[in-house]
Structure 1
């Protein structure tokens, strides 16, 4: 099973605004389906990259993804109607919505970490701490 399949299924997060959910889902699509390449995603849906980047700019200049744009993106990506409006996986309310991504390796590790039982996580923490201490001594 691929590590990305281990991510928690969609859960409703009523306290999140629809704009945050859409932004998170769009960021996820760009990361997972376009390897984080905003320009490639923009070309695919027929929009200028500067237009799409405004959805992820600093909070004072950030644009919301409107319903018409959300439905267009869903259609182009063959996602079900309303897919962008639903939380898919773990989304923190306080997450930073500025566009930046972790490398794919780190995303896969995070997904695998979430799927592990707590006891396994504790063992891995000890292994990582030991490795870090060893590395610092060099």
Structure 2
């Protein structure tokens, strides 16, 4: 005896994370601006049974029941002026001397961020010039 029935499965759609820079926050300070929320997807399958034993499963349709909401985290870039300068001499603009520096709006995790374009005039120690053309954060 062959029977079929529709089965609904619900799966989680993980939220994405985005980092933005904020020059009103102290450098390195992190604030979640928008909390991330997972979404859900409904999957409808047609399941076939022969003598009560499942023999097939085919996806009939799927839909996003609830869209995920990305988490947005702001990272501060406000730098207090320092008497000694505090800028790396390998770059034409002030790139702070830090354990790591990334381009604003990129996927890096700081703790320091800079906006370009910035000419690399020495060694690109923070690897800000992704295409090695002498201009960083473009």
- TM-score, structure 2 normalization: 0.20
Rg larger in 1 or in 2? 2
Bigger strand share: 2
